[in-house]
Structure 1
Amino acid sequence: MNKPFILVVEDDKPIRKLITTTLETQGYRYHTAETGEVSIIEAISRQPDLIILDLGLPDMDGVDIIKKVRDWSNVPIIVVSARSEDRDKIEALDAGADDYLTKPFSVEELLARLRVSLRRIRYDSDKLQKDASQFINGPLRIDYAAGCVWLDEEEIHLTPSEYKLLCLLAKNVGKVLTHNYILHSIWGSHPYDVPALRVFMATLRKKIEKKSAQLRLIQTHIGIGYRMLQVGDDFSDR
């Protein structure tokens, strides 16, 4: 089986070389683009399995590239950028990026983020072939048809808001969801603010992670949002 094909969009030569050398040593196939215009053409023509994207390109802002790609593709996009402000991360994630890595970064973390996003591709593919009425992630099982949640075959009783939160995270497993995205998806016109969302999330985590201190299903990205981890994901909280 061929290794996934990755499009690297980066105009900084040393960073581009670091990324491509890392991919090469791990056996990934890749192609590079140094401008936004070229990256869009390459994304359409080559149909990559994943895109690694810098935001600060010479001809186009990376957020605009994300929006253009999202018009026709759900390919995972990992942003690798020197922009470290929360508002920049939120803007990119709200535009449709799956993950955000701030420069400078470690090779190990980049590879871990790649593995997470590529597992999501496999999960989405498997989901098309299986009964989509259930979600299973390690000891967690959601029966969408019945509206029930089990942990190690013990039913967990959730409030309607907690259940909606869990389902939203599960249907986007491996992807960082911003506070605004979650609020809009569940409550529409944002009747709850971020502090209230944190309370809902805290009670949800207490219920689904209660059996083991080592079981971590929901990852907090401080100031950004939350992510449902697939059991076995191997990177730390931001």
Structure 2
Amino acid sequence: MDKETILVVDDEKEIRDLIGIYLDNDGYKVIKASNGLEALNVLEKEDVDLILLDIMMPNMDGMEACMKIRQDKNMPIIMLSAKSEDMDKIMGLTTGADDYVTKPFNPLELLARVKSQLRRYTKLNVKTEKSDSIIEIGDLTIDVNSHEVRVGDREVKLTPREFDILFLLARNRGMVFSIEKIYETIWKEEFFESDNTVMVHIRKIREKLESDSRKPQYIKTVWGVGYKIEN
């Protein structure tokens, strides 16, 4: 079985090396880059399964790099940052990241996040029975096998987290999911009331799916309760 490849992007060599040691010891192939430009160059030549992406870097920071990566790639991206403010977290998630880890971090916790993201990403790309692999809701088509989403003839690029949320709601059409339930189902972590993560992701999904995200056709808000996709 081929090793899964992790791209570690950080301008601090000590951090790149530390992360690299833990990933290597756990059986991953590690590629390192010191800024966003180097990371983009790596992605042109290498198949990467997950990216650990620092935010504050010279030449091209993590936010800009994440947006460029998301133009045509959907592997999981975990942002790394010394900033812990909610706005920095939201900005990272808005640009297409799937998770966010604040420095200084416990390397074992980071490793656990990496494994969780890879499991989720792999599961979504595993072949399933054809009858279960396609969900159609009006013009919206979700293909679980290929991890593709289309609205009519238009392909919609979603991050793995965004795909998870859309798939959760689509396969449970008519059921209302609270923000807490969505978070704990997708992130597998305890929800904290002040966390805006789910709302940020829902907004991004709507912006990508809808011609007018202010009048959502697919993901409906049930005020005071949560979100649903209707039959």
SS at match of 2:31: strand
The residue number in structure 2 matching 1:25 is 25
Displacement of 1:45 after TM fit? Answer: 1.2
Q: CA–CA distance in 2 between the matches of 1:128 and 1:6?
A: 26
Whole-angstrom distance in 2 between the partners of 1:124 and 1:100: 21
Partner of residue 10, structure 1: 10
The 3 A distance-change label for structure 1 pair 93 and 146 is closer
Structure 1 residue 24 displacement after superposition: 1.2
Q: Could you say if the C-alpha distance between residues 74 and 105 of structure 1 is closer, same or farther in structure 2, counting changes exceeding 3 Å? A: same
Pairwise CA distance, 1:127: 5.4
Q: What's the CA shift for 1:179?
A: 1.8
* Counterpart contact for 1:133–1:144, Cα < 8 Å: no
Give distance in 2, aligned partners of 1:103 and 1:146. Answer: 37
Residues 183/11 of structure 1: CA separation in 2 closer, same or farther (3 Å cut): closer
Q: Is the 8 A contact 1:8 1:33 kept in 2?
A: yes
CA–CA separation in structure 1 for the residues paired with 2:205 and 2:128: 23
Residues 8, 31 of structure 1: 8 Å contact kept: yes
In the TM superposition, what is the alpha-carbon distance from 1:165 to its structure 2 partner? 6.7
Q: In the comparison of the two structures, how many residue pairs are matched?
A: 181
Within the alignment, does 1:40 sit opposite 2:40 as a pair?
yes
Q: Distance in 1 between matches of 2:40 and 2:213?
A: 32
Are 1:48 and 1:75, in contact at CA under 8 Å, matched by a contact in 2? yes
**C-alpha RMSD over aligned residues:** 3.8
Match status 1:182 vs 2:208:
no
**TM-score, scaled to structure 1:** 0.63
Mapped pair 1:200 → 2:225: yes
1:147 alignment partner in structure 2? 173
Residues 10 and 53, structure 2, Cα contact 8 Å, conserved in 1: yes
| Residue correspondence of structure 1 range 93-112 to structure 2 within 5 A | 93-112=93-112
Moved more, 66-75 or 43-52: 43-52
Aligned match of 2:138: none
**In the aligned structure 2, how far is the partner of 1:50 from the partner of 1:44?**
14
Structure-2 residue corresponding to 1:118: 118
Aligned CA distance change for structure 1 residues 180 and 120 (closer, same or farther; 3 Å):
same
**Structure 1 counterpart of 2:60:** 60
Which residue is equivalent to 1:208?
Answer: none
**Structure 1: distance between partners of 2:71 and 2:198:** 20
Match of 2:164 in 1: none
Q: Is the 8 A contact 1:94 1:178 kept in 2?
A: no
Does structure 1 conserve the Cα–Cα contact (< 8 Å) formed by 2:93 and 2:200? Answer: no
